[in-house]
């Protein structure tokens, strides 16, 4: 049995864990406080050693930047509310990570592109 605590995200429905929207909202506030002007973001999924990651690089049109890396595979998502300034968060799976990052980027009205290394 899968003991991970995740949002219920299916092909035509989404029921988010309560902390998901709060994390996205707080991270969006933090991002807007660090950048001026329109925000551009590049998403890069990658694997390193035995881990899977999602990198988010955000840059303000006039000034500022912010980077977030999501490590995927945690038993339980660590929302890191005690330290949102850190650069790496542990999420349960890539679906949860993409959903949370999608909410963050929506809330910052970022122009998003997918990148590769």
52 falls in which pLDDT band (50, 70, 90)? very high
- What is the rounded CA–CA span in Å between residue 112 and residue 37? 15
Residue that wins the pLDDT comparison between 13 and 75: 75
Domain count, the chain: 1
Assess if residue 5 is contained within a domain: no
Assess if residue 72 is contained within a domain: yes
- In terms of residue numbers, what domain contains 18? 11-114
What pLDDT shows up at residue 66?
96
Assess if residue 4 is contained within a domain: no
Q: Cα 5 to the chain's mean position, in Å? A: 17
Assess if residue 18 is contained within a domain: yes
Residues 59-96 pLDDT 10s: 999 999 999 999 998 888 888 888 888 888 998 889 98
Residues 28-47 pLDDT 10s: 999 999 999 999 999 999 99
Assess if residue 46 is contained within a domain: yes
Integer-rounded Cα Rg, in Å, for the chain is: 14
Please check whether residue 51 is in contact with residue 70, taking contact to mean a CB–CB distance below 8 angstroms.
no
Q: For residue 1, is pLDDT > 50?
A: no
Query: Which of 15, 43, 35, 16 lies closest to 108, judged by CA?
Result: 35
Assess if residue 91 is contained within a domain: yes
Query: Which of 97, 112, 96 lies closest to 15, judged by CA?
Result: 96
Residues 6+ apart with CB under 8 A from 57: 41, 42, 44, 65, 67, 115
Assess if residue 36 is contained within a domain: yes
What pLDDT shows up at residue 7?
74
């Amino acid at each position: 049995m899968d003991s991970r605590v995740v949002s219920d995200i299916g092909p035509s429905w989404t029921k988010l864990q309560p902390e998901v929207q709060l994390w996205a909202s707080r991270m969006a506030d933090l991002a807007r406080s660090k950048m001026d002007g329109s925000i551009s973001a590049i998403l890069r999924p990658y694997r390193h050693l035995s881990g899977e990651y999602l990198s988010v690089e955000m840059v303000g049109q006039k000034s500022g930047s912010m980077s977030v890396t999501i490590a995927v595979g945690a038993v339980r998502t660590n929302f890191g509310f005690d330290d949102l300034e850190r650069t790496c968060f542990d999420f349960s799976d890539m679906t949860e990570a993409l959903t949370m990052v999608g909410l963050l980027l929506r809330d910052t009205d970022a122009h998003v592109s997918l990148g590769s290394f």
